Structure 1
């Protein structure tokens, strides 16, 4: 089962409303659809979301690195030769979401060939995950209104609150409003996207000590080495490394340095293969994990829930699987549905996804 072609198709779908956070804001899902073709007619599919403010990748760079470097290196390999594929792609530094999309599309091929779902191949622990929803920057009353709508419509009771604004008291006020409105039955945690200094982070956490936050994520920059260690050492809640830990080696560095006590796993940047390595590291070290979101569309979300539901450790907390709700449309022929606060893994072999060809033609940018 040889790889014969790798497609990188740029597309753009607008969001109904932008998601705003400390490192930027997203108005359009300008992603890349990645398809791996084989000589047996099996096609694997995944999605690469460019995040230039996090990894330096753009839609154009993802298409270029796949077309110019990765495809020529991988065409002709068997779809089962995953280690060889990674060795060849790793000759090129960076480009995490491009590599991850190829990895996940290849797993989709393997699942289809074996007539088994990718989630079962990865571990098969559960057929669903609890869902958390990210609430972006807005006036407190708007953030509360969105959270109430998501709770009442989809049954979601875990919320990740974007923080990192100046002054930090804006976000303290927002978190207080959310807790007051939603009550103690809802779980809240915060994500600063590196927007605060260590000292402001410490002040904010002290002022929110009574809110029962589950954990805090990337409150200050990754290169603030001593500040992060100081902050984590005094925190009463777990600190999640996200942007600071995009590779297994970075995970080791952050944990051993005392700069984090938990890890966000994002299949959009580590695929299924390296996400498994990160998860194994964390389990061996007794470190909690959460399934993160790269502001994925439905294809990326389907990949994330396939991985998250496959393992015990990743099902212990709600996964960030709902940002596609803010997109005006998507490419799946059968849209994802969140019910009762959970998202199910797709039935069928591989990832169980089908692309709506009419929508792909409408939104693709290379025609």
Structure 2
């Protein structure tokens, strides 16, 4: 059960529908497939989606970190020594996506070795999650039409709406149009990706007070400490810390400092090991948790649902699990299927998914 090699393979798959939001635009999945090999011939996999406008990582930096720093530190270590692996990865500052991909590939390899699902290894609470779909910037009519298509085709009834444009009334008009077009049975929440000032955020939330929002997420800059606290005190819905809460220490500061009242867990940035710590911390503090999306591929989405389904708290709310639908293709041999608004954990060992070698050969960019 010892690690013998770690691979980092860059690949690029265009998006059929680009996603636009306050902190950037994404036209293609320029990701890195990470593979952890063991002395028993088992190979664990995970996906690393770099987000330079959020965490500063790029496809090239992920490869450099995985191959040049992390691989030498974990080769020779047993799969069960996950705390040792985590401590060695933590020696390097930053690089959350690169660290998380290595961590999750180790968990996948361990599950495959023990013939257990990652969800069972983590906690085994349930085998599926409700799905929330993320709606990027567009005109109100187009966003309503996309939401209706997701509801009618996949049974999705929870939507995260990207906001943060100026003037802010462009976005409040969209949210109101979604509520009027979809009815009261649909759950809506907003994510500003730090695009508004605290004052703009407060005005926007006031204008949407009658819309029945579920959450508000990262409406204003994370480093505006006093402004965020002022805003959160006015919000009558949970305020989610996302980009501002990358580590468990960040979560502690945001919640205890009054800058947030809920947390987004993204396995793409905290893996499974540190996502566990964030979960336990949130549970102890009594705050709501949403499983977030880093514009994940199908492999990334399976990592999210594998973790989210493992615990009662993380499976309580719909997880952001559907943005792979906007990709023109994917790497998995058997595509994920959203049925009746739910995404299920795969029953096979580890993550229960496999990479199609022909598709990987088609989309990898290092050859």
Report if TM-score (shorter chain) is over 0.5.
Answer: yes
1:158-196 per-residue CA deviation (whole Å, 9 max, x = no partner) reads 000000000000000000100000000100000000000
Three-state SS of the structure 2 residue aligned to 1:358 is helix
Three-state SS of the structure 2 residue aligned to 1:66 is helix
For structure 1, list consecutive stretches of 5 or more residues without a partner in the other structure: none
Equivalence map 1:262-273=2 (5 Å): 262-273=262-273
Three-state SS of the structure 2 residue aligned to 1:338 is coil
Equivalence map 1:149-298=2 (5 Å): 149-298=149-298
Equivalence map 1:333-352=2 (5 Å): 333-352=333-352
1:327-356 per-residue CA deviation (whole Å, 9 max, x = no partner) reads 000000000000100000001111111110
Number of the residue aligned with 1:111: 111
Q: How far is the alpha carbon of 1:81 from its aligned partner?
A: 1.3
Three-state SS of the structure 1 residue aligned to 2:44 is strand
RMSD (CA atoms) = 0.5
Mapped contact 2:261–2:288 kept (Cα < 8 A): yes
Number of the residue aligned with 1:90: 90
Number of the residue aligned with 2:56: 56
Q: How far is the alpha carbon of 1:95 from its aligned partner?
A: 0.3
So what's the TM-score if we normalise by structure 2?
A: 0.99
Equivalent-residue separation in structure 2 for 1:188 and 1:61 (angstroms) = 35
Three-state SS of the structure 2 residue aligned to 1:211 is coil
Equivalence map 1:31-42=2 (5 Å): 31-42=31-42
Moved over 3 A (4+): none
For structure 2, list consecutive stretches of 5 or more residues without a partner in the other structure: none
Q: How far is the alpha carbon of 1:87 from its aligned partner?
A: 1.3
Number of the residue aligned with 1:314: 314
Equivalent-residue separation in structure 2 for 1:31 and 1:63 (angstroms) = 10
Mapped contact 2:119–2:306 kept (Cα < 8 A): yes
Equivalent-residue separation in structure 1 for 2:326 and 2:88 (angstroms) = 36
Q: How far is the alpha carbon of 1:2 from its aligned partner?
A: 1.1
Q: How far is the alpha carbon of 1:79 from its aligned partner?
A: 1.3
1:195-253 per-residue CA deviation (whole Å, 9 max, x = no partner) reads 00000000000000000000100000000000000000111111000000000000000
Equivalent-residue separation in structure 1 for 2:342 and 2:91 (angstroms) = 39
Number of the residue aligned with 2:15: 15
Equivalent-residue separation in structure 2 for 1:78 and 1:157 (angstroms) = 43
Q: How far is the alpha carbon of 1:363 from its aligned partner?
A: 0.1
Mapped contact 2:86–2:273 kept (Cα < 8 A): no
Equivalent-residue separation in structure 1 for 2:215 and 2:2 (angstroms) = 45
1:126-163 per-residue CA deviation (whole Å, 9 max, x = no partner) reads 11000000000001111011001111000000000000
1:235-272 per-residue CA deviation (whole Å, 9 max, x = no partner) reads 11110000000000000000010000000000000001
Equivalent-residue separation in structure 1 for 2:158 and 2:188 (angstroms) = 6
Across the two proteins, how many residue pairs are aligned to each other? 367
1:278-313 per-residue CA deviation (whole Å, 9 max, x = no partner) reads 000000011110000000000000000000011100
Q: How far is the alpha carbon of 1:86 from its aligned partner?
A: 1.4
Mapped contact 2:238–2:261 kept (Cα < 8 A): yes
Q: How far is the alpha carbon of 1:11 from its aligned partner?
A: 0.2
Three-state SS of the structure 2 residue aligned to 1:30 is strand
Three-state SS of the structure 2 residue aligned to 1:209 is coil
Number of the residue aligned with 1:25: 25
Three-state SS of the structure 2 residue aligned to 1:64 is helix
Equivalent-residue separation in structure 1 for 2:362 and 2:235 (angstroms) = 49
Number of the residue aligned with 2:356: 356
Mapped contact 2:267–2:303 kept (Cα < 8 A): yes
